[in-house]
Amino acid sequence: MEAVNGWPPETDIGEWKGTANNWYNTFNTSSIVRSDLVSWPTDLSFHSLKAVLTAESNNVDVRIDFYMDNVLRATQYGAGFVGKPLWL
């Protein structure tokens, strides 16, 4: 998901860069980035990705839980993401 009005914020539910790894990324700024690499199954079957975004108690930041095949694989935080329109 990418910001509608400028950039960042951005969070990537699925990104592949020429390997069998999926990158979960959250860009708070161009230099403050969190990336978690998770091996993508090579069994040639369908797999699901999901991100659950939840506002933190400060009502400014967002917790992003990333799932593959309904298993939590990574958690990241988007600083100042609450109320920001994002493209899906």
Respond yes or no: is residue 10 known to be catalytic: yes
Q: Which residue of the set 4, 15, 71, 72 is catalytic?
A: 15
58/41 Cα distance (integer angstroms): 37
Strand partners, 87: 2
Q: Are 11 and 78 in contact (CB under 8 A)?
A: yes
Q: Which residue of the set 1, 10, 51, 64 is catalytic?
A: 10
Strand partners, 34: 26
Respond yes or no: is residue 56 known to be catalytic: no
**Residues carrying an active site annotation:** 10, 15
